[in-house]
Amino acid sequence: MKKLPTLFVSLGLFTLAGCGSTPSPSSAHYIDPNGQRGIVNVGKINYQDFDSAAHNLVQSLINTNVIRTKADGKPALLSISRIINETDQQFDTDSLVSNIRIQLLQTGKIQTITTFGLGDVQDPLAKQVADKNAFVANSSSATPVPDYTLTGKILMDKTSAGDVKQSAYTFYMTLTDVSTGTGVWEDKAPIVKQGTQSSIGF
C-alpha cells in the first residue's frame, strides 16, 4: 500500500516527460523534411507527396535496369520533355522533375542536359557559352543529343462519401529511347488521401 504514492509519482513523471519531445503544433518549429510530421491535406498535393512519387518512380526505373550507358561507359544523356499537370492545383512541375533528376544523377547511369529542352532551357547561360564555343570552333552543333527523354502527366480524381473526402493523384512517367523512338519504361505512382480534415503526419 505504501508503494502506491511512489507509483503515482513515477506515473506523473512519465506523463510529464512524455514518450517524445515533439513541440506543440501551434508554435512554429522545424520538422524533418523526409519524416512523417508534415501537414497532410486531402484536396492538395503536399510537399512529401512529390518526394514520395519521385522516389517511387525512380525506384521503378532503376529496378527495370533499362538505362544503357554509352559504349565508352559514359552516362547516357537525358532530356526532360513535357510534363502535363491535369490537376486543379497550380504548381511547378519541377517539384517532381527535379527530385527525379537528382536521384537519377546519383546512380551514375544518367546525366541530364541543361542546355536543351522544350521552351526555356534549364541553364540559358550554359547554352549561350556552348553556342559561342561552337561558333568559335566553327562547329555545327553545340547541343548534345539526348539518348533518352522523360515525359509525364499528373492526373487527379476526387470523390466523397458523406463527410469523408478522397483525393487520388497519379503521377505517370514514360522514358523514351530516342534512337528507336519507343517507350522503354513506363510506370505510375499513385497517392491516395482520405479524410474529413487536414492533419499532421502520414
**Residue ranges in contact with other proteins by CB under 8 A:** 34-37, 40-42, 48, 51-53, 55-56, 58-59, 62-63, 65, 103-104, 106-109, 163-164, 189-202
Name the residue nearer to other proteins (CB basis): 31 or 142.
Answer: 31
Say whether 10 sits in a helix, a strand or coil: helix
Q: C-beta of 146: minimal distance to other proteins in Å? A: 20
User: Helix crossing, 94-107 with 47-64: angle to 10°?
Assistant: 40
Cell numbers representing residue 93 in the block: 512541375
Q: C-beta of 98: minimal distance to other proteins in Å? A: 13
Report the greatest alpha carbon distance in the chain: 96
Q: C-beta of 159: minimal distance to other proteins in Å? A: 14
Cα 156–162–167 angle (5° rounding)?
15
Integer Rg of the chain from CA = 24
Could you please report the per-residue DSSP string of 136-173?
Answer: HTT-S--SPPPSEEEEEEEEEEEEEETTEEEEEEEEEE
Alpha carbon distance 148, 182 (integer Å): 10
Name the residue nearer to other proteins (CB basis): 113 or 191.
Answer: 191
Name the residue nearer to other proteins (CB basis): 130 or 150.
Answer: 150
Name the residue nearer to other proteins (CB basis): 52 or 93.
Answer: 52
Name the residue nearer to other proteins (CB basis): 41 or 87.
Answer: 41
How many helices (H) and strands (E) the chain has is answered by 4, 7
Per the CB < 8 A criterion, the answer to whether 46 and 198 are in contact is no
Cell numbers representing residue 3 in the block: 508503494
Name the residue nearer to other proteins (CB basis): 18 or 181.
Answer: 18
